Amino acid sequence: MSIEELVDGVLAGRRRHLAKLIALIENEDPAAAEALSLLYRHTGRAHIVGITGPPGSGKSTIVTRMTSEYRKRGRTVGIVAVDPSSPFTGGALLGDRIRMQEHSLDDGVFVRSMGTRGHLGGIARATSDVVRAIDASGKDIIIVETVGAGQSEVEIIDIAHTVVVTDVPGSGDDIQAIKAGIMEIADIFVVNKKDLPGADKKAAEINTMLDLDQNMGQWRPPVLLTNGRTGEGIPELVDKIDEHMVYLRESGALEEKGLQRSRDELHQIMEYRLTQELLSRLQGRPEYEEAIRKIAKRDDDPYTVAQRLIAEFLAGFSRQV
Amino acid sequence: MSSSRKIRVLIAKPGLDGHDRGAKVVARALRDAGMEVIYTGLRQTPEMIVRAAIDESVDVIGLSILSGAHMALFPRIMELLRKEGADDILVIGGGIIPEDDVPELKKAGIAEIFGPGTPLNEIVEYIKKNVKV
Amino acid sequence: MSKKEDLAAALRQWEDGPVAKTISRFPERMKEFTTHSGIPVKRLYTPLDVADLNYSESLGFPGAYPFTRGVQPTMYRGRFWTMRQYSGFATAEETNRRFKFLLEQGQTGLSVAFDLPTQIGYDSDHPMAQGEVGKVGVAIDSLADMEVLFDSIPLDKVSTSMTINAPAAVLLAMYIAVAEKQGVPMERLRGTIQNDILKEYVARGTYIFPPKQSMRLITDIFKFCSENMPLWNTISISGYHIREAGSTAVQEVAFTLANGIAYVQAAIDAGLDVDRFASRLSFFFGSHSNFFEEIAKFRAARRLWARIMRERFGAKDDKSCRMRFHTQTAGCTLTAQQPENNVVRVTLQALQAVLGGTQSLHTNSRDEALSLPTEESVQIALRTQQIIAYETGVADTVDPLAGSYFVESLTNEIERRAMDYITKIDELGGAPTAIEKGFIQREITESAYDHQRKVDSQERIVVGVNKFTVKEEQSFDYMRVDPEAEKRQVERVRRLRSNRDQAVVDSALEALREAAKTDANLVPLILDAVRAYATLGEICGVLRDVFGEYRAPDVL
């Protein structure tokens, strides 16, 4: 398949082409960047919703219910479910799809499972590109689901317009556990399994924490109660997500975020490319290895060496120019 | 294989058979061998399996069935894969599948059948050998 | 020094002396010996291991609380266990013939295997039924099929066990209706329906409805039978499938009894007095490879259940504490390689069940790793039971292994470990919640994976598979279900639908639908629908509409 065919297929909403592009992205195939650059101006339409929270909080059930609700409202949905890969074997059991059986044959829904792998560019970069691809294929809503336990998960979620953080009653210290970074970017809180005792208490705890937040902007994250199993509270959640997008537009935050994101993305890609370029010239060269040995023996220092290598690199460029 | 290229496998239970011990054990073994594994759960129709395989860009589909319905379901799955242009996916099967049925299944496009007593390693090695990375 | 201390000293002397000397020249085969559950197996068991055993408290007499030694005073001296071979395939005619064959060959009870569409509440012409009709059991779409299934089989003389779970109420109703036509009133019917939905969620997969609604159907059956069918076993709380899914013996006991606790609690919550229904609960276990662990397992299960019923649920009637069970030899131990070896495995496993005091027994056939059994194979399986019964003398005394230092130690240990698990499950909120959280499923998969790794590394030997292998030659013909059977059955159910009084069917289904929305007992309404020749798929379809369908959580 040529890049043109691939791009045309994605734009036409064909699943096979979209899946193939995602595979290229995940495998860090250079064709992926080519295709994405051709698709880029067709992106930016979808509302990206990130959903994260501790295991057992029912995220997948909520995502399934949200998807049903969106479909009822006539919108198409893409779902990217990110699961941790084993740091030892590199393998992963991607267990979110199995919880979304209801939508398995709905043409308006596309589900993709991703492991965190050893992405050279970082998992957030890869997820962002996958979301772009789905965006280009015309989905109205793209839900990104992660476990939300660490820094990289925060980065993944940060690509979303609206971040939903889930929790369950009786989880005790879990709110503290997922605090690092997630709380700062949460736009909506969901206390799921509201039929369990302590649901209201948990909601109150979150509200108290929000009361104490000095840095809150104009949007105060609402705290919603849901029952993923029965579907209670889900239409309200979808309403709130829509409301958030309205807020983002009207307050100018959307534009601001867009600028910041484009800046970040450009930086990330340039940084990645530059590093790749520099390293590809250096790696394996005897002078390079020798320089490293000298640093290790303390006959030289990494700061000086770096300065020199970069200066040579830049000089090489200006010579070519 | 670079660290960003992983073999992706769909483990599926077609039909009504509810015995998932084998499927789950194989899924774990493949994960431990560094692959990304998506387990479909029970009661999958051929349509659901093919849809999942395509959307998830899997390299391999592993079909597990113990109910004797494999002759009806496996060829149908292969047919759908061909129709969708996805017949480059490696399809293997396991469970209770009599020796006598294997030639016909292979003719339909199933690459290999792994019967009861197959060591997990054999399945892992077969996949590693036969998936083009 | 006391006798105990004397013995302890002598034992130490023996270990430090002759044992140490022997080991230095002939090391033992393994560094550690354990049962499949991981219980350490010592070199030698002595009175020291059972020093604290109080006979009356821990063992007692057969037929008396805590039933460790058996559920009846005379056990097999009075009557052998029921020889009950699970069978069914293709359509009702073929299965009826197999039933008659087995009864002629000396089987003493019937056990019906239904095909997957039937077990999952689909008629044979449902799209999901394609390729599945009649494959793992008999296809039953309506009362008409049931009538053929039991043709010329007197239901007042024969007891029937039906392995049916989600649609158990429907098959029970069909059985009652067939008996009616034979002139046998339901209060004379003997038999069992498996009716154990919790293990379906966990290990077997033929569920239909969500847990709450399934429990409602189960307690409806308990109530109905407590009033109308005093000889009927309303449930067969099963560990067999949990074991087949990969659990250890300890887990088999723990998870089965935890499920049992959930059912008893549900019935109590539904307003039933424990002594009104508990005596008709029955159980179903597997008989696996480790000889003494399995025997001890059966005894431990009986004692533990008795204690739970008395101490936790306050059952006053001893019969409520009495665990009666069926056993099947473990299917997962059968090998496709050198299938004749399976006859040996099954013999040992059957013997275990008898020494463990089972009430009824199914022995697997040698070819069942590959297919359903041929007539010849199932005959050997039946003969296995008959040889044990008539030739070995093991049935001539009750609980012969009692008092064995080893067996009593193992019994205690299994009970203790199982109870630990039950406590853990209680802390999680009970079996249904533990299932929702995936706890039980993950434990089972963990054990299954562990087993497979041990086999692959040869830490655990399976003869013919990872040791003593041969180049396999298939030497016998195994059974094939007639491929035309599905076509015949599809035609038959379609014909039935066009030949009955549709108005009666419709009104019965409508009445069922309305009742399902309330908490009325659904069994009488299902009976009405069944008598009107509503199909299984139609009845379950109504319930699917009202109850919804179960969605399994991911538990990998």
ipTM of the complex model: 0.94
Spell out the per-residue pLDDT of chain C, length 556, in tens.
688 899 999 999 999 999 999 999 999 999 999 999 999 999 999 999 999 999 999 999 999 999 999 999 999 999 999 999 999 999 999 999 999 999 999 999 999 999 999 999 999 999 999 999 999 999 999 999 999 999 999 999 999 999 999 999 999 999 999 999 999 999 999 999 999 999 999 999 999 999 999 999 999 999 999 999 999 999 999 999 999 999 999 999 999 999 999 999 999 999 999 999 999 999 999 999 999 999 999 999 999 999 999 999 999 999 999 999 999 999 999 999 999 999 999 999 999 999 999 999 999 999 998 888 889 999 999 999 999 999 999 999 999 999 999 999 999 999 999 999 999 999 999 999 999 889 999 999 999 999 999 999 999 999 999 999 998 876 667 788 888 999 999 999 999 999 999 999 999 999 999 999 999 999 999 999 999 999 999 999 999 999 999 987 766 6
Q: A214: left (phi > 0), else alpha (psi -120 to 50), else beta?
A: alpha
Contact at CB, C554 and A56, closer than 8 angstroms: no
Task: Give the domain extent around A49.
Answer: 44-251
How far B42 CA lies from chain A's nearest CA (Å)?
9
What string of H, E and C letters represents the secondary structure of C94-142? HHHHHHHHHHHCCCCCEEEEECHHHHCCCCCCCHHHCCCCCCCCECCCC
How far B69 CA lies from chain A's nearest CA (Å)?
22
Query: Does residue A120 share a domain with residue A206?
Result: yes
Torsional sign, CA B69, B72, B74, B77? negative
Distance between CA C216 and CA C539 in Å, rounded? 16
Query: Does residue A235 share a domain with residue A113?
Result: yes
First-to-last alpha carbon distance for chain A, in angstroms, is 36
Q: Of B36, B54, B56, which is closest to A91 when you measure between CB atoms?
A: B36
* Domain C-terminal end among A218, A251, A284: A251
Q: Of B34, B37, B51, which is closest to A104 when you measure between CB atoms?
A: B51
Token pair 């395989």: residue: B53
Q: Is residue C499 part of a domain?
A: no
Interface mutation target, options C118, C119, C130, C198, chain B, most CBs of B under 10 Å? C130
Q: What are the CA-CA distances from residue C367 to residues B96, C207, C341, C474, C476 (Å)?
A: 11, 28, 10, 11, 9
- Number of helices and strands in chain B (H, E): 5, 5
pLDDT at A321: 46
> Is B75 strand, coil or helix?
helix
Contact B118, C455 (CB under 8 A): no
- Number of helices and strands in chain C (H, E): 21, 10
Work out the number of other CB atoms within 10 angstroms of the CB of residue C121. Answer: 25
Q: Which H or E element spans position A192?
A: none
Q: Which residues of C touch A96 (CB under 8 A)?
A: 554
> Is C465 strand, coil or helix?
coil
Distance between CA A285 and CA C65 in Å, rounded? 83
Q: Which residues of B touch A126 (CB under 8 A)?
A: 4
One-letter amino acid for residue C167 of the chain:
P
Q: Is residue C534 part of a domain?
A: no
Q: Is residue C507 part of a domain?
A: no
One-letter amino acid for residue C526 of the chain:
I
pLDDT at A318: 64
Nearest to A242 by CA among A27, A29, A74: A74
Q: A100 to chain C: nearest residue by CA?
A: C551
How many structural domains are present in chain A? 3
Output A22-27 pairs: Cβ under 8 A, ≥24 positions apart. Answer: A22/A112, A22/A130, A22/A133, A22/A134, A22/B57, A23/B57, A25/A126, A25/A129, A25/A130, A25/A133, A26/A114, A26/A117, A26/A119, A26/A126, A26/A130, A26/B4, A26/B6, A26/B57, A27/B2, A27/B4, A27/B5
How far B24 CA lies from chain A's nearest CA (Å)?
10
When pLDDT is cut at 50, 70 and 90, the band that residue A118 belongs to is low
How far C129 CA lies from chain B's nearest CA (Å)?
8
Contact at CB, A93 and C437, closer than 8 angstroms: no
Work out the number of other CB atoms within 10 angstroms of the CB of residue C161. Answer: 24
Contact A142, A78 (CB under 8 A): yes
Q: Which H or E element spans position C236?
A: strand C235-238
Token pair 């889900």: residue: A234
Nearest to B35 by CA among B60, B13, B14, B8: B8
Contact at CB, C370 and B96, closer than 8 angstroms: yes
Two structure tokens written together for C508: 């019965």
Is the previous residue joined to C524 through a cis bond, with omega within 30 degrees of 0?
no
Contact C83, C382 (CB under 8 A): yes
DSSP lists the bridge partners of residue A165 as A52, A189
Q: Which residues of A touch C437 (CB under 8 A)?
A: 56
Q: Which residues of A touch B53 (CB under 8 A)?
A: none
Contact at CB, B41 and A101, closer than 8 angstroms: yes
What helix, strand, coil percent values describe chain C, rounded to 5? 55, 10, 40
Asked whether residue A266 carries a pLDDT value surpassing 70, the answer given is: yes
Contact at CB, C449 and B28, closer than 8 angstroms: yes
Distance between CA C164 and CA A200 in Å, rounded? 42
Give the start-to-end residue ranges of the domains of chain B: 8-130
Query: Does residue A199 share a domain with residue A66?
Result: yes
> Is A81 strand, coil or helix?
strand
> Is C366 strand, coil or helix?
coil
Contact at CB, A95 and C437, closer than 8 angstroms: no
Distance between CA C259 and CA C463 in Å, rounded? 34
Distance between CA B34 and CA B23 in Å, rounded? 17
What's chain B's average pLDDT? 95
Q: A119 to chain B: nearest residue by CA?
A: B4
Contacts of C among chains (3+ CB pairs under 8 A): A, B
Q: Of A89, A104, A118, which is closest to B32 when you measure between CB atoms?
A: A89
Q: Of B42, B96, B119, which is closest to C205 when you measure between CB atoms?
A: B42
pLDDT in tens, A155-213: 777 789 999 999 888 766 555 544 556 677 889 999 998 888 889 998 998 898 888 87
Contact at CB, B56 and A97, closer than 8 angstroms: yes
Contact at CB, C556 and A60, closer than 8 angstroms: no
pLDDT at A119: 65
Task: Give the domain extent around C62.
Answer: 55-84+192-456
Alpha helices in chain A (DSSP H): 3-11, 15-26, 30-39, 59-72, 123-136, 151-158, 174-177, 179-185, 199-211, 234-250, 253-282, 286-296, 302-320
Mean pLDDT in residue range A116-130: 79
* Domain C-terminal end among A223, A251, A279: A251
Contact at CB, B55 and A117, closer than 8 angstroms: no
Nearest to A102 by CA among A259, A231, A226, A267: A231
How far A129 CA lies from chain B's nearest CA (Å)?
14
Contact at CB, A97 and B85, closer than 8 angstroms: no
Q: C304: number of CA atoms within 13 Å, CB side?
A: 29
Q: Is residue C509 part of a domain?
A: no
DSSP character at residue B100: G
Q: B101 to chain C: nearest residue by CA?
A: C480
Q: Residues C483-501, buried b or exposed e (16+ Cβ, 10 A)?
A: eebbebbbebbeebbeebe
Q: A56 to chain C: nearest residue by CA?
A: C437
Contact at CB, B4 and A117, closer than 8 angstroms: yes
Q: Is residue C520 part of a domain?
A: no
How far B126 CA lies from chain C's nearest CA (Å)?
16
Residues of B within an 8 Å Cβ radius of A: 2-6, 27-28, 30-41, 47-48, 51-52, 54-57, 84-86
pLDDT in tens, C413-461: 999 999 999 999 999 999 999 998 899 999 999 999 999 999 999 999 9
Contact at CB, A93 and C556, closer than 8 angstroms: yes
Contact at CB, C554 and A98, closer than 8 angstroms: yes
Contact at CB, A90 and B52, closer than 8 angstroms: no
* Domain C-terminal end among A197, A220, A251: A251
Query: Does residue A63 share a domain with residue A149?
Result: yes
Nearest to C189 by CA among C271, C299, C109: C109
User: Is the CATH number 3.30.300.30 carried by domain B8-130?
Assistant: no
Contact C555, B27 (CB under 8 A): no
One-letter amino acid for residue C324 of the chain:
R
What helix, strand, coil percent values describe chain B, rounded to 5? 45, 20, 40
Degrees, nearest 5: CA angle C284-C388-C298: 30
Query: Does residue A49 share a domain with residue A111?
Result: yes
Residue C504: φ, ψ to 5°:
-65, -45
The CATH number assigned to the domain holding C247 equals 3.20.20.240
For residue A236, give every residue at least 6 positions away whose Cβ sits within 8 Å of its Cβ, in sequence order, or none. Answer: A224, A226
Interface mutation target, options C128, C212, C554, chain A, most CBs of A under 10 Å? C554
Contact C349, C382 (CB under 8 A): no
Contact at CB, B17 and C116, closer than 8 angstroms: yes
Distance between CA B38 and CA A99 in Å, rounded? 11
Q: C549 to chain A: nearest residue by CA?
A: A102
Q: Is residue C21 part of a domain?
A: no
Chain C touched by A101 (CB under 8 Å): yes
DSSP lists the bridge partners of residue C191 as C160, C232
How many structural domains are present in chain C? 1
Q: Which residues of B touch C205 (CB under 8 A)?
A: 17-20, 42-43
> Is C385 strand, coil or helix?
helix
Contact C478, C367 (CB under 8 A): yes
Nearest to C81 by CA among C111, C126, C39, C125: C111
Chain A touched by C551 (CB under 8 Å): yes
Q: A64 to chain C: nearest residue by CA?
A: C551
How far B108 CA lies from chain A's nearest CA (Å)?
22
Q: What are the CA-CA distances from residue B24 to residues A200, B127, C235, C554 (Å)?
A: 38, 17, 28, 11
Low-confidence ranges of chain B (pLDDT < 50): none
Contact at CB, A95 and C551, closer than 8 angstroms: no
Interface mutation target, options B9, B17, B21, B70, chain C, most CBs of C under 10 Å? B21
Beta-strand pair B8-12/A223-225? unpaired
> Alpha-carbon dihedral of residues C188, C194, C197, C199, nearest 10 degrees?
150
Contact C15, C48 (CB under 8 A): no
Contact at CB, A99 and C553, closer than 8 angstroms: yes
Q: A85 to chain B: nearest residue by CA?
A: B36
pLDDT at A213: 79
